[in-house]
Amino acid sequence: MSYLHTPENKGYHTAAGKFNEATMLVSETAEELTEAYRYLVGLQPVVDELLSMNALKGWNKHDEEVIPGVAHNIGPIHRGARFKNITESQLIKLLRAISKVDGTLKGQLSTVIGTVPEYFNPQNADQPDPQLSRQLVKRLNDIRREAVVEQEDLLQNPDLITDDIKPFREIWNWYYKKLKKQKRKNNPSAMLFH
C-alpha cells in the first residue's frame, strides 16, 4: 500500500542542494518498491519491441525517460538504483506512459506483464493536499531505513545476494551513462579524476 504525502517543508532537496516543491509517493513496505521495480523491468522490453515496430503513437522523450527514471529511484541499492520514493509528478508521467503502452496493446498489457503494482495506486490519491500523520511518516521512514541498511550490506557483500532482481545497468545502461554524464557536468571537479 502506498500513500501520497506532502512533507511539512512542501518538498525535498536534491543532492546538489536545490529545493523542489513536491508531493511524494511513499511506500508502506520495501517489498512494494521491489515489486514496482520488477514491473518496470518487465515493461521495458515490451516498450522496446513496440518502438522497434513503430507502434507506440505519441511516444516522446518524456515517456522514454520516465520508466528508467522511476526505476532508478525505486530500485534496490544492491542492484544499482537508489531505493527512494518518487514524486506525484513522476507517478503521473509514468502512468501516462503505461497507458500509452496498454492502449497500443489494446488493453492487454496486464496479460503480458501482470497488473500495475499497488505502489503506483496510492490509497489517498483523491485527497487534494495529502498529509500523513507524523506517526505514520516516522513508521514508514523507519521501515525504509531498515531496508536501506540491508541493501547496503548486500552491496558490500554481493555473495550474499540471493534474489533474481535484474541490475539497473543491465536494463537501462544508456540511461545510467546519461546520469553519469550529467553528474560529471554538474561537478566539474569530478572530471579531474576520470
In this prediction, residues 133-143 reach a mean pLDDT of 92
| Helix, strand, coil distribution of the chain in percent, nearest 5 | 60, 10, 30
Report the percentage of the chain scoring pLDDT > 90.
73
* Domain ranges, residue 49: 2-193
pLDDT above 70: residue 113: yes
pLDDT above 50 (res 184)? yes
> Does residue 190 carry a pLDDT above 90?
no
In this model, does residue 192 exceed pLDDT 60? no
Q: What is the pTM for the complete model shown?
A: 0.89
Q: How confident is the model at residue 30 (pLDDT cuts 50, 70, 90)?
A: very high
CA distance 42 to 19: 33
Q: Which long-range contacts (CB under 8 A, 24 or more apart) does 163-170 make?
A: 163/76, 165/34, 165/37, 165/38, 165/41, 165/75, 165/76, 165/79, 166/41, 166/79, 167/79, 167/80, 168/68, 168/71, 168/72, 168/75, 168/79, 168/80, 168/81, 169/80
Tell whether the model's pLDDT for residue 19 goes beyond 70: yes
Number of domains in the chain: 1
Alpha-carbon distance of 143 to 83, in angstroms, equals: 12
Question: Taking residues 52-60, what's their average pLDDT?
Answer: 92
Max alpha carbon distance in the chain (Å)? 51
